[in-house]
Amino acid sequence: MTLKSMFRNLLAGVGLEVHRLSPDNGAPRGTDQAALQVALRNGLQINTVIDAGAAFGHWTRTCRELLPQATYLLVEPLAQYDDWLDPLCAEFSNVSRVKAAAADQIGQATFYLHQDWCGSSLYREAEGARVDGRPTEVQVTTIDTLTQEFQLSGPFLLKADVQGAELKVLDGATATLKQTEFILLETSLFEFFKGGPLIDKIVVNLQQRGFAVYDILNPQYRLLDNALGQVDLVFVPVDSVLRREHVYASARQRQQQNDQFQQQRANQMTGT
């Protein structure tokens, strides 16, 4: 066993893990911030950011550190978040908020307000009525409607944290997706929300729209049994500049990797 393996096992014994840091900003590589930084460094260009399910606005604040000149539209139906979103919009002239839920139609819909707010959804929970929360009527609209109403222009970044309504959001963004270069979606491996799509259905849906998985972020393990419950997926167009290269490494990087392997083998042989 190498020292690296021993160290990792020691950390695992106390519930800790080692994660690679992004070379750009020190954020763990498997986070939204680091993933977006890598994409921007590799040629991603964004003019408008749409945050569907903005909640407290923390994600938009983080994103704005990397894309300060972009236009931001936050889509969040719950008045409970006003105390965070109103100051955010007042602080930055390029940030606006629509008090509605992103969906596949325009009108009103029943929204289930959970005690923890962030779990609130257009869908009921698989756990039953005891966790569905209080039903309330909210406005619903489509991303395509909003891009026209606010005269937003691409290329777009679409982030959706919508608790089971991912396909509704995509169905309401057909025109916008044609100018979208980066999609960030929370996806589930179990049907936490009745009728909500699982990860494979979302991947297939976006493949049919011309997108490919680009990154996997923020694994969340369910409390029930510590099984992987949700991950955030990044999608980009199949012809994106981010997919221009399909090799694993440059010739120089490959040589460095081979040299490192040879050195490790030599150390093992000599016991150093």
pLDDT at position 197 is: 94
Separation CA 147–CA 172 (nearest Å): 11
Q: Is 268 inside a domain boundary? A: no
Range of the domain at 174: 20-244
Is 32 in contact with 218 (CB distance < 8 Å)? yes
**Cβ neighbours of residue 268 under 8 Å, at least 6 residues apart?**
none
Specify the 3-state DSSP secondary structure of 236.
Answer: strand
Q: Is 80 inside a domain boundary? A: yes
pLDDT at position 37 is: 96
Q: Is 258 inside a domain boundary? A: no
pLDDT at position 5 is: 47
pLDDT at position 272 is: 65
Look-up: residue for tokens 């979208």? 180
pLDDT at position 31 is: 92
244 burial type by CB count under 10 A (0-12 exposed, 13-18 middle, 19+ buried): exposed
Encode the chain (272 residues) as per-residue pLDDT tens digits: 444 444 455 555 555 555 454 445 557 888 999 999 999 999 999 999 999 999 999 999 999 999 999 999 999 999 999 999 999 999 999 999 999 999 999 999 997 886 776 667 677 677 777 767 788 899 999 999 999 999 999 999 999 999 889 999 999 999 999 999 999 999 999 998 888 999 999 999 999 999 999 999 999 999 999 999 999 999 999 999 999 999 999 999 999 998 898 888 888 888 76
Q: Is 266 inside a domain boundary? A: no
Neighbouring-strand partners of residue 139: 108
Q: Is 7 inside a domain boundary? A: no
Separation CA 249–CA 255 (nearest Å): 9
Report how far apart, in Å, the C-alpha atoms of 5 and of each of 2, 8, 13, 143, 257 are: 5, 5, 12, 47, 19
233: domain CATH number is: 3.40.50.150
Q: Is 255 inside a domain boundary? A: no
Q: Is 29 inside a domain boundary? A: yes
Q: pTM of the entire structure?
A: 0.86
Pairing of strands 48-52, 156-160: parallel
pLDDT at position 115 is: 72
Question: What's the total number of domains in the chain?
Answer: 1
Q: Is 261 inside a domain boundary? A: no
